[in-house]
Amino acid sequence: DLDDVTLDYVDEPAPVVPEPQPDLTGPYAKEIKSHLTSTFGLATFRKNQFEAINAAMAGRDVFVLMPTGGGKSLCYQLPAVCTGGKTKGVTIVVSPLLALMNDQVNGLKSKSINAVLWTSNTSEAEAQQIRSSLYSSNKPTLLYVTPERLKVSSTTKNILSHLYRINELARFVVDEAHCISTWGQDFREAYQNLHILREEFPNVPIMALTATADRKTVDDILERLRLSSPAVFEQSFNRTNLNYTVVPKRSVDEMVTFIKTKHPNQTGVIYRTGRDKCEKLAHQLRQKGLKAAHFHARMDNEDKEKVQQEWKNGQCHIIVATIAFGMGIDKADVRFVIHFDLPKNMDGYYQETGRAGRDGQPANCVLYYAYRDLQPILKMIRDTKDPHTNPASIERQEAAVRAVVRYCENNSVCRRTQILQHFGEKFDKKDCKNQCNNCADQGLLETADYTQQAKIVIRLVQSFERSQENVTIDQCRSIFKGANTAAVRDKGHDQLPAFGAGKDIPKEVLELLFNKLLFLDALVEKSVQTTTKWHVQYLRMGKKAQDYLSGSKKVELSHRPKGVKAGGKPKATKASKKASAVPPPAPEPPQRPRALYADDDDPIDDI
Ligand code: ADP
Ligand code: MG
Ligand code: ZN
């Protein structure tokens, strides 16, 4: 029963372990500790915060790699208000998003800290005031600027040079530092220019912070910012309070049932890849009684602001958004993050799921997976509008999305192990504590050899290829299943030796088998343009087809035997009993021909 998304962890959250406190020693310890409690109103340091602050005060370059919600801001905000160590003067914070900077500046002001935001939206009168304050003796403690300001504005450069000459530049902070790297999805042109900070102000320490831990990106950041023997603080990217689940994507109703049973009236985000899809899904959710709104990059600023505000204050529970939503949004009690389309890469997936459970309380990350979602994304990558896109970058993006497919298809290895491996971190699945659906399902999955059936399917495709007949995956599956339909009979497909060879295989396993053959490169879908707009995917032999035909490679499928619930335990627990009261999943929506995806074809929004 693949339909049922029964998740037991909601009743049995993993214990939240309090952070062990570091030795609060050293010349700055007293001042640091006192600001933590009196200025910031916090009781204890989170992992690496004290150490990073200490290194900053000692005047070193610092690199902080901390998962989203880990508390990176404190690492530069606290030294900024100190007077000991290397803290004299203004701390300049470079950050990529206005909303994010706005939140931070307001938060600091509410703590009576002199923080100022200077962007292209700043009025001329305000800018004048900021400029004169920077030349006065009453300078702001923190000055937040966009990278664009540093790049284009000669006024800003002049002021920085002035501060540098009078030794009043405390530190440069580059937040969301991964935006400097062309490896990442958040690449920002103006971040490229930040090497000038070290070149033009060589004595000012730099602190770079990010939550993107991919090794290549980290090296890129260190090099591009010219950090010199930085104090590096990295930590495990495991988010213990998040539960990771991948379930087959069937219908919106299933997802609605999940939300209504597991997260009634709770806050969540649903990610989709196109703005039309966001609008449509938010509308559907509202019709089903959920408080949902959409968010994407093409909305005007006023609407964006309104939606974010309503979500923050709880008027709206669910935001259906493209990846344009989220960076820097600090809402602590997000209880679920759903991906209703395939994420573009593991990095993004980790970042987006990371917005759940920032308060440390249990939260669910559910990815609704359908292999058919891969093609539209590949198409978007290839059809990218920019004629200068480097082919290597297209290849890289394709490889990145295929890594997501591998993650989804892999239903045996602990999901945490898979996610963290992407960041070069080894993770022992015993530390998962069954907080992913692969660990929770361990021992419940049945693995069986489907090599013989796979051979029949591959030979079927081979015969079509030889007779130059174009068939889709749905047609092939119908033939293999032995479907007695006019479409099959009219083409004489019921006369083929493969007709009905898979009639005893359950429907969901049949789907797994075809997905697996595509995934293994035993079969491929080739896109054929029939008119200017419509593409049809036809099946062909894949690069690895011969390996399976010759029997040198096997095809194994793991699936839940009938009657075992996803994420469930064999015995009836409180949660699964509750779940049995859930209305049965709605009948499957009519399938539109999967080969035709032209109306899915809106571009992925960018930040
Ligand atoms: P990041 O930038 O790493 O994603 P933030 O700096 O935005 O994280 O902090 C995330 C949340 O954690 C904020 O609500 C912040 O107030 C809180 N926080 C940070 N440090 C601490 C701490 N030492 N104790 C308690 N809460 C903290
Ligand atoms: Mg941050
Ligand atoms: Zn696990």
Taking the CB of residue 252, how many other CB atoms lie within 10 A of it? 18
Q: Is 330 in the pocket of ligand 1 (CB under 6 A)?
A: yes
| 543: Cα within 13 Å, side-chain hemisphere | 3
Q: Is 212 in the pocket of ligand 1 (CB under 6 A)?
A: no
Confidence check on the interface: ipTM exceeds 0.95, yes or no: yes
Taking the CB of residue 325, how many other CB atoms lie within 10 A of it? 25
Q: Is 77 in the pocket of ligand 1 (CB under 6 A)?
A: no
pLDDT in tens, 244-280: 999 989 899 999 999 999 999 999 999 999 999 999 9
Residue 213 has pLDDT above 80, yes or no: no
* pLDDT at 284 (0 to 100): 97
* Mean pLDDT along residues 103-111: 95
Residue 412 has pLDDT above 70, yes or no: yes
- Candidate from 11-20, 206-215, 460-469, 487-496 with smallest mean pLDDT: 11-20
Q: What is the position in ligand 1's atom list of the atom closest to the CA of 66?
A: 3
Closest CA to 233 of 253, 259, 208, 252: 208
Question: Across the chain, what does the average pLDDT equal?
Answer: 84
CA–CA gap between residue 370 and residue 249 (Å, rounded): 5
pTM: 0.63
Q: Give the confidence band of 85 by pLDDT, cuts at 50, 70, 90.
A: confident
% pLDDT > 70, the chain:
85
User: Which residue's CA is the nearest one to ligand 1's atom 18?
Assistant: 71
Q: What are phi and psi of 311, to 5 degrees?
A: -75, -40
Query: Ligand 3 centroid to 437 CA: how many Å?
Result: 7
SS3 call for 555: coil
Q: Is 42 in the pocket of ligand 1 (CB under 6 A)?
A: yes
Token pair 């064999």 is found at: 570
* pLDDT at 564 (0 to 100): 53
Closest CA to 233 of 26, 55, 474, 464: 55
User: Which residue's CA is the nearest one to ligand 1's atom 21?
Assistant: 71
Query: Ligand 2 centroid to 73 CA: how many Å?
Result: 6
Residue 41 buriedness (CB in 10 A; 0-12 / 13-18 / 19+)? exposed
SS3 call for 466: helix
**What is each CA distance from 424 to 22, 186, 234, 432, in whole angstroms?**
25, 20, 12, 17
Q: Is 16 in the pocket of ligand 1 (CB under 6 A)?
A: no
